[in-house]
Copies of this chain bind each other. A is one copy, B any other.
Amino acid sequence: MKPELAIVKIGGNVIEDPAELQRFLRHFSGIQHPKILVHGGGKRATEVGKKLGVEARMVAGRRITDTASLDVALMVYAGLVNKKIVGQLQGLGCNAIGLSGADANIIQACKRPVSDIDYGWVGDIEGINSKALMSLISAELVPAFCAITHDQKGQMLNTNADTIASELAIGLGEQFKVTLYYCFEKQGVLRDKDDDHSIIPNINLEGYQQLLADQIISDGMLPKLANSFRALQAGVSRVCIGSTDMIASNPGRYTILSL
């Protein structure tokens, strides 16, 4: 039987609240089998960017990563946020190693092709170097990824953290029984977006298609579920969506996705 691996993605809501982050990291450190953390950026990058005179540039409602914005992402995601998380995990006895996708060439991407919009330095993932990642995990290290990848030609690229988490999960599906956890501000996928108690405990592929047909899935959840089912179809064992409590020893309610 394959050994277990947990891949846990956290977003801005956890990162921006020091008490919540520390609580999450304590839960995360408690996971007894191999694990990987993936974190988004949060509003800190926007704040730092503003102070540095770098305005978030939007085209047709989409954020564009120009050279100055990429520098801010490198500073805030790969520097400040990533290293603070690593330091705190080390303080909790968890042997973390902070990484971007360029480090050890683990996440290979290409600049998103220009169609109607040129997104700038945004990366679409092309491949995961699971051999390099395995050598870190074998050395009992706990990789903590920020949402930055590279094109293998010297260019760093801003990349969606949810996608990084699902691609890592897919890339390690052969070696591990992978559970992918998407932590967010709600306790799970909601049947009624205005009712925090309407958590759907289990969704399989058929149920997902029904929820889509019934237009029950709201905007922000659509790409998360699409990513999740793509990962499940590519060999990931389970995807869990909920609050950070779902990785605690006493997890409470959350949504489990499976095929």
Asked whether any CB of chain B lies closer than 8 Å to the CB of A128, the reply is no
Report Cα–Cα, A90/B108, bound state, in Å.
11
Please determine whether B71 and A148 come into contact, CB atoms closer than 8 angstroms.
no
From B48, B104, B135, B148, A83 is in contact (CB under 8 Å) with B148
Report Cα–Cα, A71/B79, bound state, in Å.
9
Q: A80-B75, A80-B79 are in contact. Are A139 and B150 (CB under 8 A)?
A: no
A45 CB to closest chain B CB (Å) equals 10
Copies of this chain held together in the complex: 2
Please determine whether B75 and A87 come into contact, CB atoms closer than 8 angstroms.
no
**Could you give, for residues 131-157 of chain A, a 1 whenever the CB lies within 8 Å of some chain B CB and a 0 otherwise?**
010011001010000001010111110
- Provide the main secondary structure of the chain A interface: helix
From B52, B78, B88, B152, A78 is in contact (CB under 8 Å) with B78
Q: In the assembled complex, which residues on chain B have CB atoms less than 8 Å from the CB atom of A141?
A: 104, 132
Query: Whose C-beta in chain B lies nearest to the C-beta of A156?
Result: B87
**Most chain-B Cβ atoms within 10 A of its Cβ — which of A87, A136, A141, A153?**
A87
Asked whether any CB of chain B lies closer than 8 Å to the CB of A173, the reply is no
A241 CB to closest chain B CB (Å) equals 29
Asked whether any CB of chain B lies closer than 8 Å to the CB of A246, the reply is no
A191 CB to closest chain B CB (Å) equals 40
Please determine whether B79 and A84 come into contact, CB atoms closer than 8 angstroms.
no
Q: Which one of A58-66, A91-99, A163-171 contacts B?
A: A91-99
Asked whether any CB of chain B lies closer than 8 Å to the CB of A77, the reply is yes
- Apart from A78-B79, A83-B100, A98-B100, 7 more pairs, CB < 8 Å: A74-B80, A75-B75, A83-B156, A95-B105, A97-B103, A104-B139, A135-B135
Q: What residues of chain A have their CB less than 8 Å away from a CB belonging to chain B?
A: 48, 51-53, 71, 74-80, 82-84, 86-88, 90-92, 95-100, 102-105, 132, 135-136, 139, 141, 148, 150, 152-156
